[in-house]
Structures are given as structure tokens and as C-alpha cells.
A and B are shown apart, each in its own frame.
Chain A
Amino acid sequence: MSRKRSASKWDVVSGRTSQQNIRFSSALIGPPQHARKKFWRAVLRVRKTHPNGNFDLDLDLDNITVDIIDATPLYPPGLAFTRLHGCHILNWDVQLLQPLLPLLLVLRKHLRFESRYLYISSTMQQNAVELCTILVRDTYGELSSRVVAVLLEYGRSALHTIVRRVKIPEKVVKQTLVVLIQQHLVLHYTHDDGGRDATYYECNWLQIYELLHSGRIVRTIEERFGTDAASVISNFLLLGHARVSDFISAYGTSTKTKTNGTLPNGTPISASEATGTSQITSAAQISKHIVSLMQEKFLIPVQLHHMHPTIDTENAIRQKVTSEQAGITAAMQAKMKKAIDEKVAEKMEALSTDLDNKNFGLKRKSDYQEGRARKRAKFSSVNETDGEEWEIDGTVVLRVNHSKFLAIFRNEELVRWVESRIGKATSQVYAELLKHIEKKAISHRTEKGLTDVGKKYVVSTLDIGTTLSKAIDLVNSIAFGSSANGGSKRHMANGSHNQFGEVGEESEGDSDDYDLDADLDADLDVSMNGNHDLSSAAQEKKEQLQNIRKHLSLLAEDPNQFVTKQEGSMQYGGWTVDTERLCRLLCTRELEQIVEERFGGVATRLVRIIKDRGKMDEKGLADTALLRQKDIRSHLGALHERGFIHIQEVPKTAERLPARTFYFFYFDEGMSKMAILNDFYKAMSRIIQRIDYERGLNSMILSKSERTDVKGHEEELLTKKELTDLAKWKRTEEKLLGQLMRIDRQVMMFRDW
């Protein structure tokens, strides 16, 4: 009763009814008849099991509407207004959705919604919508951002719906959509909806977020392939995707104008502008760059399924698979479900396996030539391997492979982590190891983060040895000490290069490495005996490999287990990296660091204890933390308020009196991450808005400095005050952009890796 009353109080205040509409567009729910039946069942079950589940169902042909009457009176109606449209959940906050979660879970189970869908929708929070809209506005202008905003807010929509909501003529909307689709920011899918086709558009917000990465991407390519390749990639970034022949023919003539025209100055991706300066003239040069970028999977051919929402692709495959199994009774169908699921997953995977082929999208150069050349290629055995010439297929449409870059950024972060934990030299060895894995593994972005099955790829010490820079001081970066404390110093003083091996063995005494080392030395001794005049180069090589192995053992022995040793055939040992686990640890570490800097050391201690021990009450916490209860109370309050820890109430009596209730604190990593991600998005939006504001303040001086006659002659043409203002603006922008990128790093850590 009291609940009802409080709900009606809100009614008066807000002038709304407490009915919340949840709408499901039938477009998504597979074959309609079938789905509806299941939906009924799902909702009825929720009504039975859910304490607040007082649902009213209303079925019509196009929409299934669920009214939740009095379901969320705990929250004011304005807040609780949750819309599920095409199963996009927008504008909700974590707490608010909790009463609905059972419903969603049942829906997912019964309607076979792909779990990622729920996940992505659920991470698509209001702050992310705001950020995405700002990003699109800064890069592609007001018009695009309005369309994107509508798509983000209302979810999947048909063209006429968009037109109605944006209030822009259909023709303009269409043009905008074309641009957005070209950039992969909007996905589309055409359903065969009972004889007539219905096309729906959906915003790919993760791709919008990728706009922030342009600067990083261009810089990475520049470091690896030089400025020319960087300009190629930055143009692909600008274009979204492009046919190779068009790209090459347009290059050189229009590069510069395009760069400046599309990008407004000073936007977050302005970094890509800087690299567009060098001129590439010959088409051969460009195609050479493109080929090497393709072989390393920085550029990939666009496939049809890139343009469609994953869920639709999966639904289509599922429908096909199911129809192949026609003529099965309902009972059998249940049994078959698992088999079908497996088949669908298999086919989904097959879509991206094309990429595993190194030369996918390329063709052999010899194919182009006359039969004579082909024959020659056939006969020469040398050409069969990597030395083969590959040429680009002019008709292929290419795009930038963002997952690859995410993997690279992740590896950089892991290397930084190693550097802070162990040391510079070890981190350089680690970087080399990761580079080898990255070349072999193809990263895919999945619901759980990036998967590049790093565990599968074994990198041998030899591989690292061949590519590792000789300039790295491997010897003096590890101390070789016996277990006695004083001993270490002595060893270090004496531990010259020659005695190195023996010192290492002595101190490694009881570790596993000992045997391997001995074996290794024996091997090498044998080879030495067989080949008496062992050159000093080979000797050096041997030492280098041993040293590398010492660093890798250090990495393997770390509590975080940066690498895993693979016992087996490989000489000098093989190594794998479990990136998924490491990223989880990395993320946890970052979370703790945020807690530390925001709430202080005591709060971090508490969070770690709660995480380690599970649910704990205040007293237990105080005892473990060796702190007074009254001292930790305020910390717990602050942490709870910001969603880092949560409370479970366990009443001792039926009355649920606060005084007679246990309060257990617990830590839910998923929820904390989500809460903080939401904060990240908001902070990023604010930074961009602040940049806009600062630019507005300095608009006079900026427009003056950008005049063609002033540019390059600032010193002469601007007054002293103007110059200092300009410098100050530049510093301000730099600081804000730097901050933006640092938060971006955290977003990747929490969401993508």
C-alpha cells in the first residue's frame, strides 16, 4: 500500500502516470508468430517470479507493448522512463534497470537475442550518446550529428521514422545516411517483411567512438611504416572505405584539399592533418604501401557483413540453418537447438576467417602476367614462399581495421605496465614478444573484449632474438644475487660478461630453470665441440638468447604472469601470452588506482579487501583492515555513493528494521566498471565542450591567425598580446586534448580489451 501511495505522490509532482512503456519492435524478433508466443510466455513467467512484476500486456500487429504498472515506484517516473525499442535500452541507469533485468534475461533466453546485443545496448548509456553526438558533430557537422542523435536515442529505425524525428527533408536525410554508411557509422539491413522489403538503419556507436582514435592510429602507422603510409591510412580514415583504384587515381591530386575540407581545424582528430603533408606522386608507391598495410591487416577488404548489424547477420544465418532442418517436430526442435546454435556460431566465425589468410584481398602478381612468367614462377621454388610478389586487386574496397589497432594499443599498455613493475629492458623484450604475436594473431572484437587468442601463438626465444635491438642492455638490468642479502652486491660487482653464465646458474639453484639452463648449456657445448672455431658472433648470439630467456623467466615468474612458458620442442623455450587475463588484471589495477586517487589509500585498502573476501560487514572489514569502524564508515559511504561498492541488506527479523539488519558490502566488477565508464564518457564530453568554449573565447585571434596572409608570418603580423594569447590557447587545447586521450586509454581498457 505504501508503495502505491508514494507512486501517486510522484504522479502529482511530475504530472505523469506511473506507467512505463516498454516497446519491442517486432522487426527484430525473428519470425513474428513464433516470437510472440514465446514473448507471452516470457512475460508471464516474469510476472510470476518478479516481485515487482505487475505487467499488462497489449498486443498489436506492429508493436508489442508491455506496460509495467507500478513496477518501479521506487524511482521517480521521470527517471524510470525506460524505453526498450528494438531491444535498444537507452537512457537508463544501472540501478534503474535492475527490476527489469529478469525480464531481459528471460527475453534473451526465449527470443534468442544475441547476448552481445544486450551487452552493447546496456553499455550504451546516456553519456555515451552525448559523447557520440558531439564527436559526429565535430567531425561531420551538424546535420550528421542530428541524424546520429536520433538513431542513438530511438535505436533502430526505418527511413520514414528518421525523417519524422529529425524534421529534415527526406532527400537530405538520405544523403546524410549515405555519408554515415560510407564511414561505417551507420549500419543497415533489409528485411524481407512479408513480400515488401523494409530497411532499417542502426547506429554503430562503437565505430563513432573510434573517431577519437584517428590520431593514435596515424601515429602508430607513422612509427612503423613512415609518413607516406601514415598519409595513406589517414585518408582511409577520412573516407571510411574506398575502392583501391579510385583511391589511387584520386591520390596526389586531391589529397590536400580533402584533408583540410573534411576536417575542421582543432578537432580531436587534427593529428591526421599533420601527416597529410608529404606528397606521394607515383601510383606504384601508393599501392606498395597499401599492399604492406593489407598484409599486416591494418587495411582489410570490406565485406558485406561489415555493413549489417551483427544481430541481423546472425538471425539470417540462423533462419537459414533452421530452415535446412525443416520437418522436425517441436520436441525434436528443442533437442536440435543446441546443434543449431553451434552451427550458427560456426558460420558467424567463418565470416571473419577470410581475414586469417595473409594475402586475402590481394592477388599474385604473376597472375597478371603472361603464361611464360607464370611458368617461371612455378618452377622457381624460392618464389613459393613469402618472397612472392603480391599485387593489389583494384576492385577491392578497403577500410581501416580498427580491431588491429586496438590490439596494438593494448600491447603498448601491457608493455608500459611491465616497465613500471619490472624494468625498462624487460619491457623492451616483452614488447618484442608481443609484436611477434600481433603479427600472427588476428584480433576480433567480441562482446567480451578483444580476442586474438594470444594463448595459441607460441613465440620462441629465437624469434625474439633475431629481431630484438642489440642496443638494449640485457645484462645489467637484472641483478644476480644468491639468496644471502650481502651476496647480491658482490655478484653484481664481479658479474662481468664472462662469468655471467656461472653466476646465473649458481643463484638459480633450486628453480625449474636450472635444468633447462643446464640442458641448454650442454647443447651449446656439444655444438661448440663439433665446431671448434665458434665465431665470436655465435658466442654473442648465445649469450644474447640466454639473457633474453632470463628476462622472459622474470616475466613468467611475476605474480601477474605476463608470459607463460611452453614446455616443449622449441629450442631455448617458447612463450605465450594470455592477454585476456592480463587485461582483466590491468583493468582491475586501473580501477583501484582510480579509487586510490579519488578516495585515498584507505578506500583502496577497503575495496581490495571486499573484492578479495567477498561480502563483508563493517566490523569484519575494520578488523581485516586494522582500522577503526568509525574511520572506515565515511570511506564506505563515499565509495557506495559513486557505485564502486554495493550493499546487500540481510534483515535479522521480518520487520526489516535498519537497526536489526546486517549490511554486507560487496564488489561487483562489472557494475563498477560500467558506472565508471559512464563517468568517463561524461568527462570526455565535458572536455570537448570545454575546448569548444575556449575556442569561442579566442575566436578573434584564431580567425586572424588562420588567414592565409597571416599564416606562417605570425611573428610579423600579430601584436605581442595576440601572440601570447595564441600560445596560451595552444597550450590549453593541448592540455585538454591530452587529457581526452588519457581518458580514452582508460575507456579502451575498461570496454574494449
Chain B
Amino acid sequence: MSDLQALARTVYDACIPNHQKLYTSNEILAHIPKRDPQILLDTINELLGRGYLKTLKQGDAFVYRFVTKDAVDRTRSLTSDEALVYQHIESSAREGIWTKILKTRTNLHPTVLTRCLKTLEHQRYIKPIKSVKNPTRKIYMLADLTPTIEVTGGPWFTDAELDADFINALLVAVERFVASRSFPKQKPNSGNPNAIIPFEAGYTGYPTLSDITQWVKNSNLTEVELSEADIKALLEVLIYDGKLEKVIGGTAYKAIRKIEGAVKQGFTEAPCGRCPVFDLCHEDGPINAANCVYFEKWLAEI
């Protein structure tokens, strides 16, 4: 083992506990005897050659990152093609990389690429992930990383699919919570259960966004961390559903009073409002008011 190799090893050992850090050449120089730039250069070359060091560019300056032994062993066991593919996947970090882009970047033959990906996946170096934005694309990333929110789509998605049940359950829960705060508690002896009376004008006890977020957090409804923005999206949906409304200058939320057994509006209750052949109905046509089966049924319901 030459001196250079030994020196390289000491530098590597000194820096590896901190391997996430990016080193500038000056920082590495501190580990070089006599701070000789020539020796530094040789050492860096040695480390680079063995794959223990990686050059990166930060702005105009070069910076270095030390590679852990595992990773070095990993790449060392790979063929050159596999190493190339691995490198590209690694560089994509938490975003993942689409196989098509991988192909153009590596310039490998499709079959070679597929084989490489297969081996890498088999060795558990990489994993395929699903992106919310492009569900059909085959995207790979390193096995030990977790995908970013852009890829997973945030708390609403499970396996890149919108989790409708989860959302609906949350919607119902939030609505109930807001409703419980929107009206005074019923007197136990009040005769009419439908007579929900309103709070007076100027009442400020309606729940705000942070109130609701806090409540969701404390309620053990879900393991998923929900931010205020997520809760706001939920509330928006509830407003669009006509279940809540904004009050007090849009800062708080209030449930809209629901009347049990409210009268439906006329049009859709009559057969015509729901008629699937309404456009074909004509006084002298094959479908008309006299022979209408829907009227027949509806009138029988008296």
C-alpha cells in the first residue's frame, strides 16, 4: 500500500462519519499533511478513481462528497452498464426518474436497460414508484429513499390513487365538528327537535381554520399529518357541497342549517324533471303525456 493510498484512507476515514456533507477542496486540505496542494490533488484523484469520492458542482466551485463503503461496494459489484444506470437513478434523488428519460440519458439499448433495471431491482438497490401526476409512467428511485410529495400527491393519495374513502370520512367528521359548534346546544326539554335556533348576530364562537386543524390533529382520526392547507382544501369542498359557509369575514366556518324533511323543489320531483326521454317527448310523438309510464308510476304513489 503506497503512501498515497494510506493517506487517502485516513482522509476518507476522517470525513466519512459526515458523509452527507459537501466538502470543498479547502476543507479536505485540512487533512493533508503540510497542506500541500499537489498531494491534495493526488489524494482526490486516488479517491475519485476508486469511487470513494464524488465531484459535484456548486455554483462555479467544485465540491466533493464522500461515498459510504456500502455504496462503493454496491457500485463495484455492478457491471459498467448497471453502474451507469445506477448513477442516473441516484442523481434523480427523491424525484425518481422515468425509464424513457433514463434511456435517452444513458443511450443504452432498451433490452440492456431493462436487464440492468431488473438486476438492480433484484438486488434491492432501486425500487419502482408510481407518480400521481403520471400514473402510467415507470419511475425508479433508490430503494432507501422516500418519494417527495409531488410524486406521492400528498396526504390524499394512497399508492398514487386518490383515497376517496379516507377523504369522505374526513369530510363527514369535519362537517360534524363544525356543525356542533355552529348552533347552540339543544335544550333537553325543547319540544321540537327540528327547531334549531341560531346564535345571535355578532357571535364569534364559530370555529376557525386553526381550530379545526387542531381538532383533527387531536382527534386521532388519521395517522397522516394534515397541514392547515390540507384542511382548508377539505373545508373548501364542504363549502362547495353547500354544507358550510364562511362567516366573520371569511375567517371562521359555520354549518348551514339543515331542515329535516325539507320540501324538494317542484321540477325534479315531477316525472318530467327526471325524465330520461324528455327531449323526445312531444304532444303527437310516440312519447307523450298521455302514454307516459313515469306519470303513471308517479300518480300511483299518491
Cβ-defined contact, A489 with B184, below 8 A = yes
Q: Give Cα A745 to B164, complex, Å.
A: 38
User: 10 A-B contacts, Cβ less than 8 Å apart?
Assistant: A479-B197, A488-B185, A510-B202, A553-B201, A598-B274, A626-B162, A689-B289, A731-B302, A742-B265, A746-B265
State which of B181, B204, B290 has its C-beta within 8 Å of the C-beta of A510: B204
Cβ-defined contact, A680 with B199, below 8 A = no
Shortest Cβ distance from A591 into B: residue: B265
Which positions 592-609 of chain A face chain B at CB distance < 8 Å? 592-594, 596-598, 601, 604-605, 608-609
Contacts of A512 in B (CB 8 A): 202
Cβ-defined contact, B257 with A485, below 8 A = no
Contacts of B195 in A (CB 8 A): 423-424
Q: Give Cα A680 to B266, complex, Å.
A: 10
**Quick check: which of B62-70, B78-86, B221-229, B239-247 contacts chain A, the rest being far away?**
B239-247
In the complex, A492 has a CB within 8 A of chain B: yes
In the complex, A142 has a CB within 8 A of chain B: no
| The 4 A-B residue pairs with the shortest CB-CB distance in the complex, in nearest-first order | A742-B266, A511-B202, A479-B184, A683-B272
9 additional contacts (CB under 8 A) given A626-B237, A687-B272, A690-B292: A420-B259, A423-B195, A478-B197, A482-B205, A557-B201, A590-B265, A683-B267, A683-B272, A686-B272
State which of A479, A626, A739 has its C-beta within 8 Å of the C-beta of B167: A626
Contacts of A421 in B (CB 8 A): 256-257
In the complex, A192 has a CB within 8 A of chain B: no
Contacts of A293 in B (CB 8 A): none
State which of B187, B204, B264 has its C-beta within 8 Å of the C-beta of A509: B204
Among B196, B204, B288, max chain A CB count under 10 A is at: B204
In the complex, B198 has a CB within 8 A of chain A: yes
Contacts of B265 in A (CB 8 A): 590, 593-594, 597, 742, 746
Shortest Cβ distance from B257 into A: residue: A421
Q: Smallest CB–CB gap between A509 and chain B, Å?
A: 7
In the complex, B112 has a CB within 8 A of chain A: no
Contacts of A735 in B (CB 8 A): 299, 302
Q: Give Cα A555 to B243, complex, Å.
A: 19
State which of A424, A554, A736 has its C-beta within 8 Å of the C-beta of B200: A554
Contacts of B259 in A (CB 8 A): 420
State which of A492, A550, A626 has its C-beta within 8 Å of the C-beta of B184: A492
Interface string of B163-199 (1 = CB under 8 A from A): 0100100000000000001011101000000011111
Q: Smallest CB–CB gap between A430 and chain B, Å?
A: 13
Cβ-defined contact, A683 with B290, below 8 A = no
Cβ-defined contact, A689 with B290, below 8 A = yes
Q: Given the interface contacts A424-B195, A687-B270, A735-B299, does A625 sit within 8 Å of B202 by beta carbon? A: no
In the complex, B295 has a CB within 8 A of chain A: yes
Q: Given the interface contacts A485-B181, A689-B289, does A478 sit within 8 Å of B198 by beta carbon? A: yes
Q: Given the interface contacts A481-B205, A732-B299, does A504 sit within 8 Å of B200 by beta carbon? A: yes
Cβ-defined contact, A732 with B267, below 8 A = no
Contacts of A731 in B (CB 8 A): 302
Q: Smallest CB–CB gap between B198 and chain A, Å?
A: 5
Q: Smallest CB–CB gap between A737 and chain B, Å?
A: 11
Cβ-defined contact, A683 with B240, below 8 A = no
Cβ-defined contact, B233 with A680, below 8 A = no
State which of B197, B256, B270, B283 has its C-beta within 8 Å of the C-beta of A477: B197
Q: Using a Cβ cutoff of 8 Å, how many contacts connect chains A and B? A: 187
In the complex, A18 has a CB within 8 A of chain B: no
Contacts of A679 in B (CB 8 A): 267, 272-273, 278
Shortest Cβ distance from A631 into B: residue: B164
Which secondary structure characterizes the binding site on chain A?
A: helix
Q: Given the interface contacts A420-B257, A479-B184, A598-B268, does A682 sit within 8 Å of B201 by beta carbon? A: no
Cβ-defined contact, A628 with B164, below 8 A = yes
Q: Given the interface contacts A597-B268, A690-B292, A693-B290, does A554 sit within 8 Å of B198 by beta carbon? A: yes
State which of A426, A492, A728 has its C-beta within 8 Å of the C-beta of B198: A426
In the complex, B262 has a CB within 8 A of chain A: yes
Cβ-defined contact, A739 with B266, below 8 A = yes
Q: Smallest CB–CB gap between A470 and chain B, Å?
A: 20
Interface string of A467-482 (1 = CB under 8 A from B): 0000000001111111
Q: Give Cα A514 to B204, complex, Å.
A: 13
Which positions 711-753 of chain A face chain B at CB distance < 8 Å? 728, 731-732, 735-736, 739, 741-743, 745-746
Q: Given the interface contacts A479-B198, A608-B240, does A743 sit within 8 Å of B266 by beta carbon? A: yes
Contacts of A526 in B (CB 8 A): none
Which positions 249-292 of chain B face chain A at CB distance < 8 Å? 256-257, 259, 262, 264-270, 272-274, 278, 281, 283, 288-290, 292
In the complex, B156 has a CB within 8 A of chain A: yes
Q: Give Cα A605 to B234, complex, Å.
A: 12
Q: Give Cα A611 to B162, complex, Å.
A: 24
Q: Give Cα A511 to B256, complex, Å.
A: 22
Q: Given the interface contacts A507-B200, A508-B200, does A743 sit within 8 Å of B274 by beta carbon? A: no
Which positions 201-216 of chain B face chain A at CB distance < 8 Å? 201-205
Q: Smallest CB–CB gap between A262 and chain B, Å?
A: 25
State which of B268, B281, B302 has its C-beta within 8 Å of the C-beta of A682: B281
Contacts of A598 in B (CB 8 A): 268, 273-274
In the complex, B236 has a CB within 8 A of chain A: yes
Shortest Cβ distance from B234 into A: residue: A626
Q: Give Cα A631 to B241, complex, Å.
A: 16
Contacts of B270 in A (CB 8 A): 683, 687, 739, 742-743
Q: Give Cα A742 to B187, complex, Å.
A: 36
Cβ-defined contact, A479 with B289, below 8 A = no
Contacts of B272 in A (CB 8 A): 679, 682-683, 686-687
Q: Give Cα A478 to B265, complex, Å.
A: 28
Q: Give Cα A626 to B231, complex, Å.
A: 12
Cβ-defined contact, B289 with A686, below 8 A = yes
Q: Give Cα A687 to B289, complex, Å.
A: 7
Q: Given the interface contacts A488-B205, A605-B237, does A746 sit within 8 Å of B245 by beta carbon? A: no
In the complex, A484 has a CB within 8 A of chain B: yes
Contacts of B256 in A (CB 8 A): 421
Q: Smallest CB–CB gap between B238 and chain A, Å?
A: 9
Q: Give Cα A548 to B302, complex, Å.
A: 42
Which positions 656-704 of chain A face chain B at CB distance < 8 Å? 676, 679-680, 682-683, 685-687, 689-690, 693-694
Q: Given the interface contacts A627-B164, A679-B267, does A481 sit within 8 Å of B199 by beta carbon? A: yes
In the complex, A483 has a CB within 8 A of chain B: yes
Contacts of B237 in A (CB 8 A): 605, 624-626
Q: Smallest CB–CB gap between B260 and chain A, Å?
A: 11
Q: Smallest CB–CB gap between A172 and chain B, Å?
A: 25
Shortest Cβ distance from A489 into B: residue: B185
Q: Give Cα A608 to B236, complex, Å.
A: 11
State which of B236, B267, B278 has its C-beta within 8 Å of the C-beta of A746: B267
Q: Given the interface contacts A608-B242, A626-B234, A626-B237, does A483 sit within 8 Å of B204 by beta carbon? A: yes
In the complex, A617 has a CB within 8 A of chain B: no
In the complex, A340 has a CB within 8 A of chain B: no
Cβ-defined contact, A686 with B241, below 8 A = no
Cβ-defined contact, A690 with B268, below 8 A = no
Q: Given the interface contacts A130-B283, A735-B302, does A423 sit within 8 Å of B197 by beta carbon? A: yes
Cβ-defined contact, A481 with B203, below 8 A = yes
Q: Given the interface contacts A423-B195, A739-B269, does A507 sit within 8 Å of B203 by beta carbon? A: yes
Contacts of A622 in B (CB 8 A): 162
Q: Give Cα A605 to B278, complex, Å.
A: 25
In the complex, A559 has a CB within 8 A of chain B: yes
Q: Given the interface contacts A604-B241, A604-B242, does A556 sit within 8 Å of B267 by beta carbon? A: no
Q: Give Cα A479 to B205, complex, Å.
A: 12
Q: Give Cα A488 to B184, complex, Å.
A: 6
Which positions 493-518 of chain A face chain B at CB distance < 8 Å? 504, 507-514
Cβ-defined contact, A423 with B196, below 8 A = yes
Shortest Cβ distance from A728 into B: residue: B302
Shortest Cβ distance from A560 into B: residue: B245
Contacts of A478 in B (CB 8 A): 197-200
